[in-house]
Amino acid sequence: MYILGLESSCDETSAAIVRMDTDENGVCTREICANMIASQIETHRLYGGVVPEIAGRAHIEAVSRITYEALDTAGLTIRDIGAVAVTTHPGLIGALLVGVNFAKSLAFAQNIPLISVNHIHAHVAAAYLSDPELKPPFLALVVSGGHTQLYMVEDELTFRIIAGTRDDAAGEAFDKIGRVIGMPYPGGAALDKLAYEGNPTAFSLPSPALAGEQPDFSFSGLKTAALNLINGARQRGEEINRADLAASYTATIVHGIVKQTMAALKMTGAKTLVMAGGVAANSHLRSALTEACGRRRVKFVTPPLSLCGDNGAMVAAAGYFRYRAGLFADTALNASAADEM
């Protein structure tokens, strides 16, 4: 079947069409037919971060056009679509509502099932699209602008939380320091590149890996320590070596994430690790986890960069599993800013 996935939780409007089917042996095939993304990054860059009202308005302008572009790219018409999946939570409420209302209208007009999708589950579902062999159970590390969590994925619909951040997310931590040292928003990708030019041991920073039984994270102390270094240098009339800071900051984050992820693998006994979310695009983190998993003979799956950031294909894939389980929404469907609906 063809499933349309709509994503509008933050600063990307995306519509995608994914073809997914499950045969009598339970083998699930998956193919991305179109994955159109209208990014608002240039607009928000002017303000150094996402402005929710502007995001909502830009989604309204893009959502219909991007959906028809997805149909054109896939060589399909709306009558070929078997279900509409939409991100309903978590995210910016005004932004989410645009996708939800559009999806509701489309499902109602076409008389096809409407499916509510959790954005975090959608990030994880991107991994099914990148690896046709991937099947639960596996451990999932979700690292994005808003989340840093470890889940045991028992089956396609069951996520058991293992650990998470007590405060900020890894993406927020990258973006904040990126902004303070003058990198364009969002700072994550820019710091990733700059880190190659610096010394990762130039500055000693507190680890985001919390001590204790739970492999939890905390990024606020690390962020404050980096800010203090930057401000301290400015007060002395100096400018901090940005490349050294990017390298040390990145190395500290990567080391902390790898440490807690390895602890969670040990706790759960999982033999497969999936990494997903915007920060999964970080090249240092990708290579560190590839190496750490290789040493422990754990299969490591992470989507290509095009499926790490927000996109409709991951929403369609997550929606397919709910469709298969008969979990349909109706026209009373709402959106929620919170992790749970």
Task: Give the footprint of ligand KG4 on this chain (CB under 6 A).
Answer: 10, 144-146, 171, 174-175, 186-189, 192, 277-279, 281-282, 309-310
Nearest to 253 by CA among 281, 230, 284: 284
- Burial pattern 223-238, b for ≥16 Cβ within 10 A else e, equals beebeebbeeeeeeee
CB closer to Zn ion out of 192 and 310: 310
Radius of gyration of the chain measured on its C-alpha atoms = 20
Q: Does 175 bind Zn ion (CB under 5 A)?
A: no
Closest CB 257 distance from ligand KG4, rounded Å:
11
When CB distances are held under 5 to 8 angstroms depending on the partner's kind, the choice from Zn ion, ligand KG4, none that residue 279 binds is: ligand KG4
CB closer to Zn ion out of 171 and 198: 171
CB closer to ligand KG4 out of 5 and 146: 146
Q: Does 67 bind Zn ion (CB under 5 A)?
A: no
CA gap 114, 336 in Å, rounded? 16
When CB distances are held under 5 to 8 angstroms depending on the partner's kind, the choice from ligand KG4, Zn ion, none that residue 88 binds is: none
- φ and ψ of 257, to 5 deg: -70, -45
Q: Tell me the residue number closest to ligand KG4, measured at CB.
A: 278
Q: Does 12 bind Zn ion (CB under 5 A)?
A: no
Closest CB 277 distance from Zn ion, rounded Å:
6
- φ and ψ of 85, to 5 deg: -110, 140
Residues 219/170, Cβ–Cβ less than 8 Å:
yes
Q: Does 116 bind Zn ion (CB under 5 A)?
A: no
Q: Does 310 bind Zn ion (CB under 5 A)?
A: yes
CB closer to ligand KG4 out of 113 and 303: 303
* 182: Cβ contacts below 8 Å, ≥ 6 apart: 242
Q: Which stretch binds Zn ion (CB under 5 A): 140-148, 243-251, 263-271, 319-327?
A: 140-148
When CB distances are held under 5 to 8 angstroms depending on the partner's kind, the choice from Zn ion, ligand KG4, none that residue 164 binds is: none
When CB distances are held under 5 to 8 angstroms depending on the partner's kind, the choice from ligand KG4, Zn ion, none that residue 188 binds is: ligand KG4
CA gap 69, 328 in Å, rounded? 26
CA gap 248, 98 in Å, rounded? 40
When CB distances are held under 5 to 8 angstroms depending on the partner's kind, the choice from ligand KG4, Zn ion, none that residue 171 binds is: ligand KG4
CA gap 116, 90 in Å, rounded? 11
Closest CB 281 distance from Zn ion, rounded Å:
11
Closest CB 34 distance from ligand KG4, rounded Å:
19
CB closer to ligand KG4 out of 49 and 75: 49
Can you tell me which of 87, 144, 218, 252 binds Zn ion, judged by CB under 5 A?
Answer: 144
CA gap 292, 151 in Å, rounded? 18
When CB distances are held under 5 to 8 angstroms depending on the partner's kind, the choice from ligand KG4, Zn ion, none that residue 281 binds is: ligand KG4
Q: Which stretch binds Zn ion (CB under 5 A): 82-90, 180-188, 236-244, 302-310?
A: 302-310
When CB distances are held under 5 to 8 angstroms depending on the partner's kind, the choice from ligand KG4, Zn ion, none that residue 174 binds is: ligand KG4
Closest CB 129 distance from Zn ion, rounded Å:
15
Say whether 9 sits in a helix, a strand or coil.
coil
Question: Is residue 294 classed exposed, middle or buried when 0-12, 13-18 and 19+ CB atoms within 10 A define those classes?
Answer: exposed
CA angle 196, 201, 204 (to 5 degrees): 125
Return the number of other C-beta atoms located less than 10 Å from residue 161's C-beta: 10
The region that residue 233 occupies, defined by phi over 0 for left and psi between -120 and 50 for alpha, beta otherwise, is: alpha
Asked, as a colleague might, if the bond just before 206 is cis with ω within 30 of 0, I would say no
How many residues form the binding site for Zn ion (CB under 5 A)? 2
Site residues, Zn ion (CB under 5 A): 144, 310
